[in-house]
Structure 1
Amino acid sequence: MKHHSIEQLQAFAEVRPASPHLPMTRTERLERWAELLEREPERRLGTLSGTEYTPRAARQALRVAGSPITVAFEDAGFRADGLADDSYGEAKRFFDLSDRQLHNIVCYCHFGEAVRGANAARRVRAAIGWWPRIRAFFA
């Protein structure tokens, strides 16, 4: 077998990535996150304490190992799309969620110290809203 560099191959062939990568929409990202959580519906995931009371700057850096956000960060596709870590602020940015929406998914005040994967998935789907889900159903 003879090995060639990409530059050498370009001299006599068109070199393209195996498949073009299309970034996911907000709804697709949230659906994917819910699906990841549903893979282990009984998995107990850590919650973040006091997201509604923590000052904004500190809230952005909040994280807990093994949270619903960690499940998203463990996905190679999400990391390739730009999910940088499993912090509250990064999840808010990446999934385009409001503080209230993310609070409803990961905050201690709703679930105690841990939330089941299935419960977190329901909250993630609720963050999508009705109109995008209705539109997707008929598309």
Structure 2
Amino acid sequence: MQHQTRERLQEIADVHANMEHRELTRSERLARWIELLEETPDRCLNTLSETEYQPTAVRDSMRSEDSPLTVAFEDAVLRANGLRDDTYGETKRFFGLSDLEMHQLVCSCHSGDTVRADAVAECVRAVAEPSPGLLAMLLNAMMIFRPK
């Protein structure tokens, strides 16, 4: 592939600098994060320390170099969709996560100082595709095994 300047490309193609793009849904954003984490499953990522004990303002500004949050922020697609940085609070806002979900994904109390990318991908998948609750499972079981 040969490098071309923007001017040269405009001569030979119809180039639109500000093409409109469709915003990703929450599910699509989470799926993208899972894909990114699974690209390098053995990558060791840094966790955040004791997020549950931090005051909200401190917790929201928490970040760590090479964390699961960094993986998301490194992606141009997620940044183009509005991810502004790799802090706890911004990631929580962008992906529509609760503090409990964020705690499960990035806190050191679950895996120590580092965690494998594939382990985080599984946690994000559990958030993105929650399993039915106990009540739903009981109701389904009752419907399957009800007498005729």
Q: TM-score range by the shorter chain?
A: 0.7 to 0.9
- Match in the other structure for 1:61: 61
- Match in the other structure for 1:37: 37
Distance 2:91 2:16 in 1: 32
| Distance change in 2, residues 1:16/1:76 (3 Å) | closer
Distance 1:29 1:43 in 2: 21
| Distance change in 2, residues 1:18/1:87 (3 Å) | closer
1:107 aligns with 2:107: yes
Distance 1:122 1:19 in 2: 34
Matches within 5 A, 1:1-139: 20-130=20-130
Distance 1:61 1:27 in 2: 24
* Runs of 5+ unmatched residues, structure 2: 1-6, 8-14, 132-148
Distance 1:102 1:76 in 2: 22
Question: How far off is 1:76 after superposition?
Answer: 0.5
- Match in the other structure for 1:134: none
Could you say which structure has the larger radius of gyration? 2
Tell me how large the CA RMSD over aligned residues is.
2.1
Question: How far off is 1:29 after superposition?
Answer: 0.4
Distance 1:76 1:70 in 2: 12
Which deviations, in whole Å up to 9, do the C-alpha atoms of 1:53-74 show, x marking residues without a partner? 1011100000000000000000
Q: Aligned to 1:52, what secondary structure does the other structure show?
A: helix
Between the aligned residues of both structures, percent identity stands at: 53
**Counterpart code for 1:83:** L
**Counterpart code for 1:24:** L
- Match in the other structure for 1:12: none
Moved over 2 A (4+): 15-20
Which deviations, in whole Å up to 9, do the C-alpha atoms of 1:77-108 show, x marking residues without a partner? 11111111000000000000000001101000
Distance 1:67 1:16 in 2: 34
How many pairs are equivalent?
Answer: 120
Question: How far off is 1:130 after superposition?
Answer: 3.2
**Counterpart code for 2:75:** D
Normalising by structure 1, report the TM-score.
0.80
Question: How far off is 1:129 after superposition?
Answer: 3.2
